[in-house]
Structure 1
Amino acid sequence: MRSTRPLFSFSFWLHHLLVANPAFTFDGVGIESDYEKLLLDYGMRVANWVDLRGFAAERLGVGELRNAGLKRLANAVLGKELQKPKRVTMSRWDNQWLSYDQIQYVAVDAFISYEIARQLNLRGA
């Protein structure tokens, strides 16, 4: 009897083509805890990651940014006010399925993190 399971799972490809690929860098705030969770829960090692707090503090010469959240970094680096509705931030993130608002929230966080890293890289060039 032949198996109908794929040879490699989506998580395999996600890990080997993206997360473990040294060509990619993952940026975020407090990203070390996300890295640890991926490693402990799923055995995924992230090849390159940068916590934007230290990166921004170094590039901008503002030591207080080492303790900043994404809202503060977005303001300091991009000059933008980031809206983070409490009803979404305090919602159930452990549900099997995320709501549309949660997905939008995560997508905005990812995009803002990318833009902050991009701007900081441009300033250092």
Structure 2
Amino acid sequence: MAAQGRKLLVHCKVWVEDETGELIFGAGRLRILEAVERSGSIVRAAKELGMSYSAVWGKIHATEQRLGRPILEKKIGGPKGGGSALTPFAKQLLERFRTLEDRTQQAAEEIFEDVFRKAVAPDPWE
């Protein structure tokens, strides 16, 4: 038996899209915004993630357009250069998405236990 002696796990991938199937938010957008928050810059976030500036900016811009709200506050140049910071809305979006991921994973584990694990790795004493 393939499952014998192995612990079986379930994993979920969560994303939010609109009714047309356009991506609004998911794990990739989460990583981008976390990197911007850490680095204070789209350029540095792109480098950290191994992505081009235009790819990162395009994803941020698309999300802002689809949500109809800004998620970044841009700081223009100056002696120390410009930068970007998350808007309060974006910070709340990150927090709520992490909660959605956690709660979805918890629910999936409960359903998995009920529906799947017992079928493929039944308790020999039942």
TM-score, shorter chain, exceeding 0.5: no
TM-score (norm. length: structure 2): 0.28
Higher strand share: 2
Q: Which has more radius of gyration? A: 2
Higher helix share: 1
